[in-house]
Amino acid sequence: MSVTDKNTAIVKQTAAQLGFDYCGIAKAGYLSDDARRLESWLSKGMHGTMQYMQNHFDLRVDPTLIVPGAKSIITILYNYYPAEQQVDGAPKISKYAYGKDYHEIIRKKLNEFLSLLQQQIGDIQGRGFVDSAPVLERSWAQKSGLGWVGKNGNLIHKAQGSFFFIASLIVDLPLTYDDPFAKDYCGSCTRCIDACPTEAILPDKVINAQKCISYFTIELKEELIPEKNKWDDWIFGCDVCQDVCPWNRFSKQTRHAALKPITEIINFNKQDWDELTEEKFKLIFSKSALKRTKYAGIKRNLKFIQK
């Protein structure tokens, strides 16, 4: 076994040891196709008020600018499909936000991942990213053989659907690379497009963020929402396009205890949400992704779905 193959085996074994559900590896390089798509998407203003999407364009499409000397992109998937669901009739929360904030959970694991690799292999420079830096995680996941990008813009794993967090570890270590996932198994299915309440899913896997419920409920900071759409009672994120995806019939309940749903998210009914005070919000959701939209945002969204 070559040194490269041996190091690759260490990477895969360490990922499994840390509890990551899947791990794939791709060669670091410039994402020319993604650069064209991203430039077109931004030029059409589909990012709405998410100005950060315009920042660091070069870094988004070239990881060697993020980690000088980068040789490999290690992509991991972390299943978040919950065992429990919200009570019937409650204002809806996206499943990824049922438990503690995944940024904190996975960032800690990525730091441990790099540290363990350094202990076993030697001097490695690298950085871990989870949905908070200019890294195109879905593209790297596809290039790492972990799945394909569906019509709803989500990565779909053939064996387990799309309810995964995606994270990247960019390292200056040459490794044996997985074959890219070459086939798109969405076929002629248009369930996600047909089911989207706000018609945010466009042809060619383009998502108009300005129409997306997740954008309205989380990203948009204005006091008054610019247009009224059919929100289907979502107050934080939206899972409609994933819930209707046939591939998610293969979803398995997460085995990660750190993602156990916050009791109130599962049990709160409409009245509980309406009566929620700012003090209780800060206490209950201090370690939740819901803090991203803040108390005022949740109250705004609750008011909007009741109109």
204 vs 103, higher pLDDT: 103
131 is catalytic: yes
Q: What is the pLDDT of residue 47?
A: 46
Q: What is the mean pLDDT of residues 227-239?
A: 83
Structure tokens at 149: 């990008």
Q: What is the pLDDT of residue 226?
A: 56
Lowest mean pLDDT among 54-68, 84-98, 130-144, 259-273: 54-68
Q: What is the mean pLDDT of residues 27-45?
A: 62
Given 131, 172, 233, 243, which residue is catalytic?
A: 131
69 CB-near residues (< 8 Å, 6+ apart): 125, 172
Q: What single letter denotes the amino acid at residue 156?
A: I
d(CA 234, CA 92): 4
- 97, burial (CB in 10 Å: exposed 0-12, middle 13-18, buried 19+): buried
- Which pLDDT band, with edges at 50, 70 and 90, does 208 fall under? confident
Structural domain span for residue 26: 1-307
Is the pLDDT reported for residue 19 higher than 60? yes
Domain total in the chain: 1
Indicate left, alpha or beta for 182 from its phi (over 0: left) and psi (-120 to 50: alpha).
Answer: alpha
d(CA 169, CA 81): 23
Is the pLDDT reported for residue 38 higher than 70? no
- Which pLDDT band, with edges at 50, 70 and 90, does 119 fall under? very high
Q: What is the pLDDT of residue 216?
A: 86
306 CB-near residues (< 8 Å, 6+ apart): none
CA neighbor of 143 nearest in space, from 26, 31, 29:
26
Strands 201-202 and 206-207 come out as antiparallel
Structure tokens at 127: 């950085």
